[in-house]
Structure 1
Amino acid sequence: MAKLLTVQGGKPLEGSVHVRGAKNLVPKAMVAALLGSEPSQLRNVPAIKDVEIVTNLLQIHGVKVDADPATGDLTLDPRDSYSAAHSEIDAYAGDSRIPILFCGPLMHQHGEAFIPDLGGCRIGDRPINYHLEVLRNFGAVVDKSPTGIHISAPRGLKGAKLTLPYPSVGATEQVLLTAVLAEGITELENAAVEPEIHDLIAILQQMGAIITVYTDRTIRIEGVDRLSGYRHRAITDRNETASWASAALVTQGDIYVKGAAQRDLMAFLNTYRKIGGEFAVDDDGIRFWHAGHALMPLVLETDVHPGFMTDWQQPLVVALTQAHGVSIVHETVYENRFGFTEALKRMGASIQLHRECLGSSPCRFGQRNFLHSAVISGPVELQGADIDVPDLRGGFSHLIAALAANGTSRVTGIEVINRGYEHFMDKLGDLGADVVMSER
């Protein structure tokens, strides 16, 4: 049965939440365990849907996974892994985009990999051609079929010199997970350098990989013959932290995010303060609250790290509907990320979308007819509405808009939020939100 969330808005969110390991790191770290000849231990793991999906995928490949949900500890033992039947893998078609990252490890271990049709959030093309081209450069043979992709390495995988046309996080992860056991040296130019990438590199280095990161976005990997296991504590989810910070701002609340880390949130925290939010950092986390005066508009442009993350944009757009004046947000990472604003407009938000690049410089979407710039005028009084969640961050954004709105909102598709927010219903309760979940 589908879920329906009924939200009574207009109440500030106040209290504390605990944020654990990053959704953009933990599933990839779990896949990395498949490369090892010994068990690995991963700590600070959140109980989210993506972790469940990767756990199931690992288990059908013979990896033993032991989890302690209370502590967030995972033990992953790949010593008896094997090639899974296509029918078993296909059962996860459409659930996640993580299966594409199994390719390198599975080819190293078993000589082949099968990848079902990939799902994920509807925020743009997010093509896997980067991934497939990367694998071909290592010597893989790619055969596409209506049900998925079969990838093999009849002559083994060999190091390659690669340049990404865009610093894609997923393609960079693909290179790392494939190159560490490939024969020879791999050099990747224009690589992604997000904190989650560095944390994955730290994990692979623990396992025995030799990886060097240069200041010009170049990563050099020297292939080794064998990798062992790892013991690692995942970095905190900076995207969930930023989401709760935006929730505090939008609802005029006060939220302490236990586990939050300042270092990986620098660009967000600067913007948060410019708008009119306040924060205080201590050894255990960060407190976020509305400073009490009128929120300020701004011009914002998303970018790859160390710029302002695209994942931070959607929750913050809700806050900008309450700013006094006109704000401009230029999305340069995903071409269709503003689809979520249609629901905000039904709630009373004044948002206009444009095909032109309204940021400081043209981006790769400027001549491609995508609505990738937003002009937001405020402040407005948001009104409750019926909402269907479109994607992970957009869904959370709709939720905090409903929490700030006058009246009642009915939110469907709420299950999507489980992909990246651990125990979010419990956390809403801890913050005093007036929400009720029911069956449709």
Structure 2
Amino acid sequence: MDRIRIRGGAPLNGTIPISGAKNAALPLMTASLLTDETLELTNVPRLADVSSLLRILSNFGVDHMIAGRRPGQTSETGQTVRLTARTIIDTCAPYELVSTMRASFWVIAPLLARFGQARVSLPGGCAIGTRPVDLLIMAMERLGATIEIDGGYVVAKAPRGLQGGEIVFPKVTVGGTHVALMAAVLANGTTVIENAAREPEVADLANCLVKMGARIEGGGTCRIVVEGVSRLHGASHEVLPDRIETGTYAIAVAMTGGDVTLTNTRPDLLQFALDTLGQVGVDISVTNEGIRVRRNGAGLEPVDVTTDPFPGFPTDLQAQFMALMTRAKGTSRITETIFENRFMHVQELARLGASIRLDGDSAFVDGVKRLRGAPVMATDLRASVSLVIAGLAAEGETMINRVYHLDRGFEALEAKLGRCGAEIERIKS
């Protein structure tokens, strides 16, 4: 397996272009199953998860084409992917494909909505909590589907089509909202989704579905109303910027010091996290080019954070922020409310000299004067990049193993950081 070697201590200075959001691209790609016409997506990131989903869609019979580069495009400015689900030859998603990525389970909704049946393996993905699919199943049942679990597969049927209904989620679920939206757009009648996720990626999916002919009101709010239509058509849609990548690089600058402008991004996608960095002592400003992040070398202030659904502090930035707080002047408390097993990075940060105490769903981080490089192991996507952030500030050399997790969610990470002065390189296996 590849490894990443970092020699810490160098501040970051320059420009980092932000890629399209993985968490938006995946449901948008899945939505291509809802129409027999072509869905064109631009600003699609080059990531392992995107490639995995393309393989799953191809297994159904979806044709895809990745457009060639255009003038001004680089390997970091996103790609254009055209998906055409004209002829679907199979509505079964096998275990060997779905087990690699949890979000691939979402294909069950458009298959069920368009063809009246689907058989999809129970999902896999990062081991950061159970993340059950019960709420996703509940959403489809509320629209008239019959669901059975058979040998590790979810078998969904609606031979007469899905029927509009009321879906009330007992807790906010991004995956459940994605599934409910894709199921409802072709259902007969009106569907009301209550306590819907408000994440920007949900709004992005709703906006794309509207371009395809869906009738949706309230996308990006806690109450979404969908008037079902008989068919959807093709469309062209740009994937929104990755707010988690934006926040990750902003935290990296806060950790190392320096002055970096993050381009191709929007501050409204992560305003809470940016405000939190301001409390830490980082200068955040919005420019014509994007978001400028500066820290002049002054100490970091400890700040308590609690992860919450949007617009709160994102759980996908929790590990990165914990790495930052290891160098704060005092003790900070980080409380995780979304996933029950998302502190696996704590032991690896401790190998670098961090002082962290766990108490239930909270981590108490005592700032230390210095971190020291050491060999560490990535346990999941966001934990892996927290080790990169810590390594950038650690004295000496940090070797990060199992970096395939990084390739699932961060496009050209070494190149982006390296151009801003980081001493970072990938060691091929």
Q: TM-score range by the shorter chain?
A: over 0.9
Q: In the alignment, which residue of structure 1 is the partner of 2:76?
A: none
State the identity %.
Answer: 35
SS in 2 for 1:395: helix
| Aligned counterpart for 1:77 among listed residues 81, 84, 99 | 84
Q: In the alignment, which residue of structure 2 is the partner of 1:364?
A: none
Counterpart CA distance in 2 for 1:114 and 1:257 is: 42
Q: In the alignment, which residue of structure 2 is the partner of 1:408?
A: 397
Q: In the alignment, which residue of structure 1 is the partner of 2:39?
A: 40
User: TM-score with structure 2 length normalisation?
Assistant: 0.94
Contact 1:192 1:304 in 2 (8 A): yes
Counterpart CA distance in 2 for 1:215 and 1:418 is: 28
Q: In the alignment, which residue of structure 2 is the partner of 1:96?
A: 101
1:197-230 CA-to-partner distances (Å, cap 9, x unmatched) read 1111111111111112189711111111111112
Contact 1:139 1:155 in 2 (8 A): no
Pairing 1:330–2:344 present: no
Counterpart CA distance in 2 for 1:191 and 1:32 is: 18
SS in 2 for 1:92: helix
SS in 2 for 1:91: helix
Pairing 1:133–2:130 present: no
1:3-26 CA-to-partner distances (Å, cap 9, x unmatched) read 122222222232222112111111
Q: In the alignment, which residue of structure 1 is the partner of 2:23?
A: 24
Pairing 1:264–2:299 present: no
Q: In the alignment, which residue of structure 2 is the partner of 1:155?
A: 160
| Aligned counterpart for 1:204 among listed residues 205, 209, 212 | 209
SS in 2 for 1:279: strand
Counterpart CA distance in 1 for 2:280 and 2:327 is: 10
SS in 2 for 1:428: helix
Report the more deviating stretch, 116-125 or 229-238. 116-125
| Aligned counterpart for 1:251 among listed residues 241, 245, 256 | 256
1:288-324 CA-to-partner distances (Å, cap 9, x unmatched) read 1214321111121111111111112211111111111
SS in 2 for 1:409: strand
Contact 2:63 2:84 in 1 (8 A): yes
Per the TM alignment, residue 390 of structure 1 is displaced from its structure 2 partner at its CA by 0.8
Q: In the alignment, which residue of structure 1 is the partner of 2:298?
A: 293
Counterpart CA distance in 2 for 1:32 and 1:216 is: 20
Across the two proteins, how many residue pairs are aligned to each other? 421
Contact 2:116 2:158 in 1 (8 A): yes
SS in 1 for 2:344: helix
Counterpart CA distance in 2 for 1:68 and 1:93 is: 26
Distance 1:420 1:215, change over 3 A: closer
Counterpart CA distance in 1 for 2:148 and 2:142 is: 15
Distance 1:232 1:85, change over 3 A: closer
Pairing 1:314–2:319 present: yes
Pairing 1:419–2:408 present: yes
Letter paired with 1:128: V
Contact 1:15 1:256 in 2 (8 A): yes
Q: In the alignment, which residue of structure 2 is the partner of 1:363?
A: none
Contact 2:351 2:376 in 1 (8 A): no
Report the more deviating stretch, 412-421 or 149-158. 149-158
Per the TM alignment, residue 240 of structure 1 is displaced from its structure 2 partner at its CA by 0.2
Q: In the alignment, which residue of structure 2 is the partner of 1:340?
A: 345
SS in 2 for 1:338: coil
Pairing 1:185–2:190 present: yes
Counterpart CA distance in 2 for 1:233 and 1:156 is: 30
Per the TM alignment, residue 123 of structure 1 is displaced from its structure 2 partner at its CA by 1.5
Counterpart CA distance in 1 for 2:284 and 2:81 is: 32
SS in 2 for 1:292: coil
Q: Give the unaligned 5+ runs of structure 1.
A: 356-371
User: TM-score with structure 1 length normalisation?
Assistant: 0.91
| Deviant stretches of 4+, over 6 Å | none
Counterpart CA distance in 1 for 2:150 and 2:372 is: 47
SS in 2 for 1:197: helix
1:152-199 CA-to-partner distances (Å, cap 9, x unmatched) read 223321112111111100000010000000111111111101111111
Distance 1:209 1:216, change over 3 A: closer
Letter paired with 1:389: A
Q: In the alignment, which residue of structure 1 is the partner of 2:375?
A: 386
Report the more deviating stretch, 388-397 or 216-225. 216-225
Counterpart CA distance in 1 for 2:230 and 2:98 is: 32
Counterpart CA distance in 1 for 2:46 and 2:428 is: 22
1:37-61 CA-to-partner distances (Å, cap 9, x unmatched) read 3211111111011211111111221
Contact 1:99 1:115 in 2 (8 A): no
Q: Give the unaligned 5+ runs of structure 2.
A: 74-78
Counterpart CA distance in 1 for 2:298 and 2:397 is: 26
Q: In the alignment, which residue of structure 2 is the partner of 1:399?
A: 388
Letter paired with 1:407: G
CA RMSD of aligned residues (A): 1.8
Distance 1:214 1:403, change over 3 A: closer
Letter paired with 1:330: T
Per the TM alignment, residue 142 of structure 1 is displaced from its structure 2 partner at its CA by 2.2
Distance 1:264 1:10, change over 3 A: same
Letter paired with 2:251: S
Per the TM alignment, residue 95 of structure 1 is displaced from its structure 2 partner at its CA by 1.0
Contact 1:82 1:110 in 2 (8 A): no
SS in 1 for 2:270: helix
Matches within 5 A, 1:98-117: 98-117=103-122
Per the TM alignment, residue 69 of structure 1 is displaced from its structure 2 partner at its CA by 6.3
Per the TM alignment, residue 143 of structure 1 is displaced from its structure 2 partner at its CA by 2.6
